[in-house]
Amino acid sequence: MSVREHDLGEIRDAVAKLCAAFPMDYWRETDRERRYPTEFVRALTEAGWLSCLIPEEYGGAGLKLAAAAAILEEIQRSGANGAACHAQMYTMGTVLRHCSEAQKRKYLPKIAKGELRLQAFGVTEPSAGTDTSSIRTAAVKKGDRYVVNGQKVWTSRAEHSDIMLLLARTTPREEVQKKTEGLSVFIVEMKAALGRGLTIRPIRTMINHATTEIFIDKLEVPAENLVGEEGKGFRYILDGMNAERILIGAECIGDARWFLARATAYANERKVFGRPIGQNQGVQFPIARAYMATEAAALMVERAAALYDAGKPCGPESNMAKQLAAEASWQAGDMCLQTHGGFGFAEEYDVERKFRETRLYQVAPISTNLVLCYLAEHVLGLPRSY
């Protein structure tokens, strides 16, 4: 299916209609109770939106990443939180490009039907952080199985996922020429692994993000669950990471547009000293600046998605899209809170929840400083700083 502009408009309208069935009360409650939005995720799944990137021959819609970006942007723009399920989209960058045909036929139809959830991406570790090549989780092949030992952290939605993509070292770092070699990706079936070498521990954070740390002790993974070639996994996860950056950039654009709409409406309605506060330039200008930043960042997200869909290199664009969009959403969130004054801190206005949620993307999935380091070294040709 092609993704023309009118197709995206139809997708946005349909997603907005679905989100309208989950009013702000629903999101306040899930946030207050730190509960996973199971009903919302189920509705998205049944409507086919979470399988939009899965090719039609496996039961999906076969859409482009631009369509997935539109879906997630619209979710955030409605005031909902797509972080509860966005991994099922960005992990497709790794699955569709590097999984075997047998693996695709085994898992993708069930994911498309909603029988399985692919929501966990086990990459980050406590001692390595974003230095992915320094991970210590090790997988040693023994016969027809790999035995895995290690630990992962900030693995969101692990408790709500049936399948996890796991990155582990299959060759020790000291035995490879390049530190990015010797890393492999595995498909882990979570239900079978729990209690048999896999332990999940929730991490309570300032936002309801369902994030966890994972402990892996002598976990046996069938050799047939190796994705692609052994030792080439770093390149495989880059496809997932670029997709992740683009999609999270789209989410940030959605957040920013929610903040802009809320701030504009409030500035028109709220009267102080006998006039709408939006009549004051001190209120107008921050809203206008946030609008400009949002529209500019949206263009970069659009460009990065177009390059990704065309199969072209998009590392710089993906990183810039994520960073510019995250900065725009944070600028808009700060502006919206300031526009609302004291009411912005009240739960019933929803600003404080979205304010907390959008702040995450200054840190995840990659921090601001590392985006700048990447651009400085790999795009501008400056000396490596770390």
Terminal Cα distance for the chain, rounded = 44
Q: Is 244 a catalytic residue?
A: yes
**Residue with structure tokens 């960073």?**
323
**Cα angle at 17 between 14 and 18, to 5 degrees?**
90
Handedness of CA 358, 363, 366, 372 (dihedral sign): positive
Tokens of 290: 């946030």
**Residue with structure tokens 């021959």?**
57
Active-site choice (125, 213, 230, 244): 244
Q: How far, in Å, CA of 211 to CA of 159, rounded?
A: 9
Q: Which of 362, 360, 339 is nearest to 351 (CA)?
A: 339
Per-residue CA distances from 108 to 12, 162, 376 (Å): 24, 12, 38
Q: How far, in Å, CA of 40 to CA of 114, rounded?
A: 13
Q: Using only C-alpha atoms, what is the Rg of the chain? A: 21
**Residue with structure tokens 């942007």?**
73
Q: What is the DSSP string of 40-89?
A: HHHHHHHTTGGGTTS-GGGTS----HHHHHHHHHHHHHTT--GGGTTHHH
Phi, psi dihedrals of residue 140, rounded to the nearest 5° = -115, 125
Q: Are 298 and 253 in contact (CB under 8 A)?
A: yes
Q: Which residues partner with 145 through β-bridges?
A: 142, 222
Q: Are 44 and 68 in contact (CB under 8 A)?
A: no
Q: Which of 31, 20, 16, 13 is nearest to 350 (CA)?
A: 31
Q: Which of 4, 6, 39 is nearest to 21 (CA)?
A: 39
Q: Which are the catalytic amino acids?
A: 244
